[in-house]
Structure 1
């Protein structure tokens, strides 16, 4: 779905200090990190910027030493990988294991290195290469070491360095060296508690900046936390400008404007003329459409339905869209290609459309703060209708026209106007009321428990999710999926019959109607029948351990969920107890449970509404209070008594 991952995140880089570990007590380190099987003992990455043939380049030396604290590390940390692409050249790769041998180490060199394409499921072709090898003999006290040199052929694509790893780090150092004539800048992110120390120095015509940290423990991961760039400490390095051979200062990324110019350069020569095939298609899709909105929707939906997403990532092709006419002829392309066709069709129909770069929510940065290639990983098309900007991402075949895809909500979009002009617009977050889930259930008491009929209506992102989930399912899988979506009460729930309807495919509305029975549900004691009518606990969530978790919760989208559960009361029963109503409101959520009863029926109305995609640690206590109140309310039962 996404534009080429322009830069690989650099997680490991070490400088070996011979003999340092010999004086260390493995047992003492084990006590420091009792849950770790290994630690990064000493880590350094040294990056040097220089000029070659009037071109700025950078070279990095990185080496790594990992100390095994337990024999169980063998089989877990043996395999290691080094990545590179057409923008980086890896040289001088060396790896070995130092195995304890009395009061010294025995060195066992790695000789078998294998290089292959580093493909992923989401990418059809990728120019990244992966060199893999195995460390031998990783017993307790052994040291796994690896070193290599990396030539950065394109300084604009240097990635961030993270001061965090999958194992504790005892010492880490990242140094950059650059000439006085080169303006190299850095941004330090998530340096809470000043984990990263920074020192700057100059010697002759050379400048040096060193970033260092000690005793960095691993971070606990959470299911619904944001990507690492939001929380983990890291350093972003970039070249603002450099001095050429004529002593002219050449701008690189010294401003947002120059970053935009670099990006826009990839659009030059793209769709400079509308081909006859594109014009004819645009005309056929917009004929008899009453206004610009309907014209844009028709074009967007055609591209969604007829162009297959296939990712190609090969050098600069990871940045350059293909010509719209070629994408149309081949009927496939990546996000840039789909944007190319979509933008050209919209322009051919007389609409105001633009290529647009954007970072998904995997990336923490805004263009206002970080005007660098690492800030975006995706391309879409944007059309302006009246005063409204509509963000169009055709890579999601079921995204609703007028909705951004879920992964770009709240992100800044860089909209290309022309060679020198652009706009940065923040993509709106879709409000809760547009993403609705409404469950209407009617229950009847039987001799063996309950029988019922349920109608569940999904709209907005809820509907989008259902459409995407059902695309490739066979009938058997569909039934299981429906059971999962409408299941109630307990594990004895039996789905009898169901029907899926699509009342508005444009808006991705979906209805599921089903009949079911719940044997042995409720408790009968004498003439009384105890029933919990909170059969579907939509908000079946857990409290947050505020002592441990210090990172925000990141949800897919805001939503509104409504449940109406109606119990038809038999003529020979009467209601003798109804639980109290509940109402909760905090910064991020509102929740309520309301009971309405008369002689013939009792209705339980439950409403949950989320009002933010993000929940910060300062809001966790409010969340926990709400969860506890709802959990207690979900346990409440009504009481019926035979007349």
Structure 2
């Protein structure tokens, strides 16, 4: 399929832990003890830097006010094992008002003439975590620029973070983008505090797990050694699908007077979430109500009202994220969003649900959901780490319509592409329901391309009509937007066919701004140097478009691949047979289907034309590593049909 990759900033409603490094090339003249470095170089060939020791140690306690007090001590050591660069000179700590840094220390250690020399970092700075579409955020980076880095240098970073909210603890990664010699998680807590955890993509037997109790404090230790670096493959579903990691939570804790629940069930999670929505939109907004009634005055059904409201929010409330403290969790008042005309996913949900009340449409609800890069269900992980997004859900006669206005072009009644297949936690007052957002059927995400072509020596001259429906059209509309400057380039990328001699002569668009209709392009084109001639015969390949032909998975790929959506692509190519020639060969028809993909090719001759109809359908969105061989074999079968040609021969002269 001809697609332009969609770059939508996913709205966040929670604070996660990010670590990243900026790679630079530094050279230094220090002479270091080469023996341990040479051992590491032999053990980890091709690596520039490895993490020799990484420890996160959580300390959990209950203060005299019966409140949980949580801090995290971090200790990281890494070693440079290359003199050719490629290592990181900058490390960063992510912090916020909800997880402030209380102390830190960073330095380099070099061994010179058998003695260790410590060098403090050259520069420390606080920076905003620069992310597109984030309007206001208290999430920052504390960056450390290390000095005197060379082959054999050791980087050391120590810091302490406190957690203002016991519901928002970080996940622990047992693997990263670097080789790790050892990674350790420790959780220390009093006997009055109950801790639970869940492992993902790793078995307990692969870890060294121990528990120690001393002076009323229990310490759980989970350790893993000799961990290879995790790769990042293109089109990956998300790092959490394969990376071994752990989430832990506080289930409950005892005080002298009571047992206080925290997390560990969906009921507890919903109770936490419900606090964020229970006190908003309590006062009626006269202006918003009057506007909503006027907006829907010609609507006769609840469906028409909700469609009108949803489309208005899509087009008139600009998506801008807020991630400052609890602003990342609590929706704003609908009247404020109406006045400002911008907001994040929670704010769009707030105004949609409130406008629904004003026109007496029942059961339009706040809904929490994780986008597709998060592989968890609510039963697997009943903590705020399970989701990162909020939408509204309209329920009528048992049917659920998911309203995600952060996608400005998704049609009413169709979920946005990045929440398909995910569980949704739908508020129902003091209770809730969990439902799974359906994947949009491939037939609704349809592309049709109908072309009529003629031959002119070695050139093809053609005209066509291209139409995109469903989430395919949504993706194109989101990417192209109102960018008139590069519009022809975008359209060219959709229509390009045959070879690099394709020339788009002209095109006309229809219904680009109407997401209830297919996005349609009529066009004229030329394709030079495409016909292969031999003697009095011409060989013509009618598969001018060849979707997926280059999408074979490499043997080194390890991450689950994700299609943006299921899709169905239909092509019809009609060739006008030149006068004085005849068709002497048509390829055989073919069809194929398995769990991942289906395709068929059908050739026919009628009067002075040859017609090829072919169709390719993607049947599964996620392709797991164990299915890579099946996908590659399927593409091999598909490409065999792409190579077929018809043969046209000049008529014999009398």
Query: In the superposition, relative to structure 1, how do residues 41 and 593 fare at CA in structure 2: closer, same or farther (>3 Å)?
Result: same
Cross-structure match for 1:292: 302
- Structure 2, unmatched stretches of 5+, are 1-9, 22-31
Please report the RMSD computed on the Cα atoms of aligned residues, expressed in angstroms. Answer: 1.9
- The structure 2 residue matched to 1:386, chosen from 390, 397, 401, is 397
Q: Verify: 1:438 aligned to 2:448, yes or no.
A: yes
Cross-structure match for 1:534: 543
Cross-structure match for 1:357: 368
Shift in Å, 1:518 = 1.2
SS at match of 1:587: coil
Q: Verify: 1:501 aligned to 2:510, yes or no.
A: yes
Counterpart mapping for 1:221-620 below 5 A: 221-244=232-255, 246-351=256-361, 352-418=363-429, 420-474=430-484, 476-502=485-511, 505-546=514-555, 548-620=556-628
**Structure showing greater relative contact order (alpha-carbon pairs closer than 8 Å, 6 or more residues apart):** 2
Q: Verify: 1:40 aligned to 2:51, yes or no.
A: yes
CA contact (8 A) 2:122 2:146 kept: no
Cross-structure match for 2:84: 72
What is the total number of aligned residue pairs between the two structures?
A: 630
- The structure 1 residue matched to 2:66, chosen from 54, 62, 67, is 54
In 1: Cα distance, 2:528 partner to 2:235 partner: 35
Shift in Å, 1:193 = 8.6
In 1: Cα distance, 2:548 partner to 2:558 partner: 22
Query: In the superposition, relative to structure 1, how do residues 278 and 620 fare at CA in structure 2: closer, same or farther (>3 Å)?
Result: same
Cross-structure match for 2:5: none
CA contact (8 A) 1:11 1:163 kept: no
In 2: Cα distance, 1:146 partner to 1:131 partner: 12
Cross-structure match for 1:116: 127
In 1: Cα distance, 2:438 partner to 2:490 partner: 31
Shift in Å, 1:22 = 7.7
Shift in Å, 1:508 = 4.5
CA contact (8 A) 2:423 2:435 kept: yes
Cross-structure match for 2:116: 105
CA contact (8 A) 2:34 2:152 kept: no
In 2: Cα distance, 1:219 partner to 1:504 partner: 42
Query: If the length of structure 1 is used for normalisation, what is the TM-score?
Result: 0.95
Shift in Å, 1:472 = 2.9
SS at match of 1:343: helix
In 2: Cα distance, 1:23 partner to 1:637 partner: 62
In 2: Cα distance, 1:249 partner to 1:116 partner: 41
Cross-structure match for 1:18: none
Shift in Å, 1:448 = 4.5
In 1: Cα distance, 2:50 partner to 2:85 partner: 10
SS at match of 1:434: coil
Residues 596-630 of structure 1, C-alpha deviation per residue, up to 9 Å, x if partnerless? 11341111111111111112233222212211112
CA contact (8 A) 2:82 2:151 kept: yes
Q: Verify: 1:177 aligned to 2:188, yes or no.
A: yes
